């Protein structure tokens, strides 16, 4: 799996958009970008994933640059409950035994 780089921490005001960047300059053509988050003392939670097109679901939007070397997770209206560690993971799809390799992640603090 390609290595990812994320800022260790970010703050965001409640109600504002939270933009979390991720660099994955060594990504290869068949690797997807996945985002998970882990709220304190809970199990990780899937957020969104994509290959090269931008994606949106009920939780977030994922913007992937044209060269696929970086991406941004956008939480459009952050709430206090979005305070968590956010992990950007790059991996090949369709591999049964492929574990999720979590790096350091970004600790997002949403403040009132």
Beta carbon nearer to other proteins, 24 or 91: 91
Please state the separation of Cα 19 from the chain's center in Å: 10
Q: Which two tokens stand for residue 62?
A: 């994922």
Query: Which residues are 65's β-sheet partners?
Result: none
CB of 99 vs other proteins, minimal distance in Å: 4
Query: Does 94 sit near other proteins (CB under 8 A)?
Result: yes
Would strands 84-92 and 106-111 be described as parallel, antiparallel, or unpaired? antiparallel
The distance between the two most distant Cα atoms of the chain, rounded to a whole number of Å, is 41
Query: Does 53 sit near other proteins (CB under 8 A)?
Result: no
Q: Which of 87, 90, 106, 108 binds other proteins (CB under 8 A)?
A: 87
Residues that bind other proteins (CB under 8 A): 32, 34, 41-46, 49, 87, 91, 93-97, 99-105
């Amino acid at each position: 799996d390609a290595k990812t780089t994320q800022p260790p921490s970010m703050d965001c005001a409640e109600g504002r958009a939270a933009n979390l960047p991720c660099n994955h300059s060594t990504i290869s053509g068949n690797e997807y970008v996945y985002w998970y988050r882990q709220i304190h003392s809970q199990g990780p939670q899937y957020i969104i994933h994509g290959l090269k097109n931008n994606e949106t679901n009920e939780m977030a939007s994922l913007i992937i640059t044209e060269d696929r070397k970086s991406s941004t997770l956008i939480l459009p209206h952050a709430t206090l409950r979005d305070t968590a560690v956010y992990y950007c993971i790059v991996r090949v799809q369709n591999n049964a035994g492929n574990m999720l390799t979590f790096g350091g992640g970004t600790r997002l603090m949403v403040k009132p």
